[in-house]
Amino acid sequence: MIRTGENALHLKSQTSESQPTTVFATLSGPLTTASYVYTMPHYLKFSISLVFALLGLWAFVALPLWQGVIGFIVIVCFGSWLASRAFKRYATPDEIKEDLQARLDSD
């Protein structure tokens, strides 16, 4: 429920409306969504994918037409491969199983 005034944002919670609610999550521990925990290998995989996607976008914009398209595809595919290799290297077997189970459950 969105209101104006002292309690402008009220999230669905068990607290009373007079208590302030926290809008931003603390990043001191692992992030959770439902029952799934995002750990450092997940952040690493996301970061590598993001960096290579931005590099691919730069190649697409900076290079001539066909070279930019081919450069974008090659850079993004390489980044995706590198991110999956880094995840498999730094994740524990339990984290890999949980990641695969989360992918199956999301379909």
Distance CA 35, CA 40 (A): 17
Which tens digit of pLDDT belongs to each residue from 54-64?
A: 999 999 999 99
Q: Is 59 helix (H, G, I), strand (E, B) or coil?
A: helix
**Residue 25 resides in a domain:** no
**Residue 90 resides in a domain:** yes
Domain count, the chain: 1
**Residue 76 resides in a domain:** yes
Which tens digit of pLDDT belongs to each residue from 37-82?
A: 678 899 999 999 999 999 999 999 999 999 999 999 999 999 999 9
What's the domain range around 98?
39-106
Q: Is the pTM of this model over 0.85?
A: no
**Residue 12 resides in a domain:** no
